[in-house]
Amino acid sequence: EPEVTQTPSHQVTQMGQEVILRCVPISNHLYFYWYRQILGQKVEFLVSFYNNEISEKSEIFDDQFSVERPDGSNFTLKIRSTKLEDSAMYFCASEGVANYEQYFGPGTRLTVT
């Protein structure tokens, strides 16, 4: 069964450093999302991406964040200058056309020290 994959599974970085989180969505899906979940809290929407551009973004997704689909398979989230409060699980999700079902990847645990 097709699945969303994410790398790395765990990333430790120092405050102020740039990180890139990578996702490979399900191959025939066209809508892509990033969510985050701070430990013990709810899953929060960050950004959605369709047709090579951002469709929606939340208040969390400020100028420090960017997304890119550099090729036909990868979807990346970049955090330019990490803060302690960016420590969270980051989930990528993808969705097919007209089925409204978002499937989540296993997540990347980001730890900012």
The neighbour count for residue 27, using CB atoms within 10 Å, is 9
Query: Which residue's CB is nearer to other proteins, number 64 or number 96?
Result: 96
Query: Which residue's CB is nearer to other proteins, number 66 or number 106?
Result: 106
Site string for other proteins, 40-79 (x = CB under 8 A): -xxxxx--xxx----xx-x---------------------
* Angle, alpha carbons 79-14-9 (nearest 5°): 65
From the list 64, 63, 77, the residue with the least C-alpha distance to 105 is 77
Query: Which residue's CB is nearer to other proteins, number 13 or number 60?
Result: 60
Count of positions on this chain that bind other proteins (CB under 8 A): 25
Smallest gap from residue 81 Cβ to other proteins (A): 25
Burial class (CB in 10 A: 0-12, 13-18, 19+), 2: exposed
Site string for other proteins, 4-43 (x = CB under 8 A): ---------------------------x-x-x-----xxx
CA 20 to chain centroid: 9
CA distance 38 to 98: 30
Which residues contact other proteins (rule: CB under 8 A)?
31, 33, 35, 41-45, 48-50, 55-56, 58, 89, 91, 95, 100-107
